Amino acid sequence: MASDADESQSGLTHTAGRAALFPARTAARVWREQLETAIDEVLSAPEIARVVDRALAGPLPEEITRSIVRHRVLERVVEELAATGELERLLAQALASPRTTGLTDQVVESEAMQKAVREVAASPAVRDALTRQTTGFAEEVTERARLAARRLDARLEAAVHRRQRTVAERPPYAGIATRTIALVTDALLTIGLYMAIVGAVSLVDSLVGDLRPHRLVAVLLTVGWAVIAGGYFVFFWSSAGQTPGMRLMRLRLRTSRGALPKPRRSLLRLIGLALSIAVLFLGFVPILFDQQRRGLADFLARTVVVYDDVTN
């Protein structure tokens, strides 16, 4: 009973308090509405507009900007947004907006953007950068293969002679690994050249009819292969001292006196190369044992193959 009496007394007190404060709240509401109306009238007055205009025309905006920069206001705001995840949410919302997607598509498909892309892609600077990057990558791969082949030259020689030479003691003569890679590269190039000629012959055959007799055509193609391959090696050995494959591995052919081989000597070396291949590649075995790393072709033509960058 005492509890019910207390609750009844508390309710009466609360009701009496609300009744007592009602006039004050009503007065505050009236005064607030009048105050808001007065503030709106003051702010919309022409005098206030002129004051704001003079303030903006003066040094105030610059001072505010410098103060914002000095106190790192924007950085702190961004850090706070990033820490709370709000920045990520706003960016995701902006990027997912259909309006953003529409504006992006409009910009990408615009004639101005297409023209800008074409001009940038066709600019000499971009072409030069792409060329340098591609050339640099190819050169890096080639250099790695070249160094790996030279290390293999040294390992094979060390395995045969059972003695490991230091870098300073290694001879300037090319070993079997680098020479093999150069020879395979040249063989692929000659095959490509031969296939191009065969393709041209096949085209003529399809235009004029079957070339007869077929046995004669086969003989001519075989002779053509021999002429192409032989002419390839003799020409490059005599004119530059290196074939494209040898240039790739930085090898150079020299006579025993260090001169450029003449066509007759190059032809004799070609015969030695053909014999070396014909006898199950045994003609290359002396490269592993000779001090100047010479093979059968080198003994016949009295030539040596050297690392081009070592001699230069």
The structure tokens listed for 123 are: 């600019």
Q: What is the pLDDT of residues 194-204, one digit of tens each?
A: 888 888 877 77
Q: What is the pTM of this model?
A: 0.57
Phi first, then psi: what are they for 289, rounded to 5°?
-115, -30
DSSP annotation of 303 reads: E
Which residues does 180 contact at the CB level (< 8 Å), separation at least 6? 284
- For tokens 């907006």, what's the residue? 97
Choice between 31 and 253, residue whose per-residue pLDDT is larger:
253
Rg (C-alpha) for the chain, rounded Å, is: 45
How far apart, in whole angstroms, are the C-alpha atoms of residue 218 and residue 212? 10
Residue 38: the pLDDT is 62
Choice between 123 and 183, residue whose per-residue pLDDT is larger:
183
How far apart, in whole angstroms, are the C-alpha atoms of residue 233 and residue 238? 8
pLDDT(178) > 90: yes
pLDDT over 70, % of the chain: 72
Nearest to 183 by CA among 281, 53, 75: 281
Which residues does 173 contact at the CB level (< 8 Å), separation at least 6? 292, 293, 294, 304, 305, 306, 307
DSSP annotation of 240 reads: T
